[in-house]
Amino acid sequence: MSTDIVSVDIGGTHARFAIASIGADGTIELGEPETLHTEDHASFQTAWEDFRERQGGSLPEAVSMAIAGPVGGDVIRFTNNPWVIRPALVCSKLGVSRYKIVNDFEAVAHAVARAPDDQFLHLTGPEGPLPDTGRITVLGPGTGLGVAYLFRQPGHYRVQATEGGHIDFAPLDQIEDAILARLRKRHNRVSAERVVSGPAIVDIYQTLAAMEKKSVPERDDVDLWTTGMSGEDSLAAAAVDRFCLSLGSVAGDLALAQGGFQGVVIAGGLGYRIRDTLIGSGFAERFRAKGRFESLMASIPVKLITQPQPGLFGAAAAFARDHGVSQ
């Protein structure tokens, strides 16, 4: 007998919904996801009601939410959007009887734990599947920079959400010094997320333009990613390459900090979008460039998860574990 729930993945820009069916053996099947823009809804409740209408006016009586930001306490505030959720009111506000709330990258780590080997793209390090035992670092750029880790043991795993995206950004060359200097004009403290996230491409691009003494118009991150990925704009393409370098550096730093020596997984919509660029960029060299630990870094397999909806899938997996149904 299967259990149907609403699985939700809420980020800074989008809220994704899907009906998930959890089998008695723990297998998870996701229905067709619906993506709503957070800016189009005053609250999570109104977004929920919108999704409910799209589903014909009724939903399952259980929900699992993956949320971009810390999930403890009586009030949950999102890192990159203005919504607020009060866990004590979830059942009455949404009309459900059971719920689960996890950090968005805690959910992604659940997806990493459960995804089959063919849903990982190899980026660097030793070939082959991720090990069944040990710690794996999980990170992904999007509206912000999500970070978690996964610890595997035979027949069991556990995940831990972190706020690793808010570690200090550490520049490695003169260009990154210039990016840091630009950001320091607006922020007393510059975190890794300020450089390794989707919106960060704007500051990277503007820094490169200033270094070349070029006057460029104001452009948003969507435009820069599009023209940079296509090669239509050489300066935007240089900004994308620089982003990949910084992502490699931060991924390596997090692996060292967390002890993710059995593997590192890049996740998130932006990570998937730039997957081919990552392979051909300096990402791998920057990941390994850790001085005396370069040989250790070279021994770590680095993958990119290609599961199409890891947040939704992982939220359902977290619910299954919490309610005693898991593989």
Binding-site entries for ATP: 8-13
Name the binding residues: 8-13
Integer Cα distance of 108 and 159 in angstroms: 9
DSSP string, 63-88: EEEEESS---SSSEE-SSS--EE-GG
**Angle 174-184/201-211 helices, nearest 10 degrees?**
110
DSSP string, 153-176: ETTEEEEEEE-GGGSBP---SHHH
Tokens for 167, please give them. 């570690």
Q: What are phi and psi of 18, to 5 degrees?
A: -160, 155
Residue with tokens 């919504």: 83
Residue with tokens 């979008």: 273
CB 326 within 8 A of CB 320: yes
Q: Which of 35, 33, 7, 207 is nearest to 111 (CA)?
A: 7
Instruction: State CA 215 to chain mean position distance.
Output: 33
Tokens for 232, please give them. 């239509």
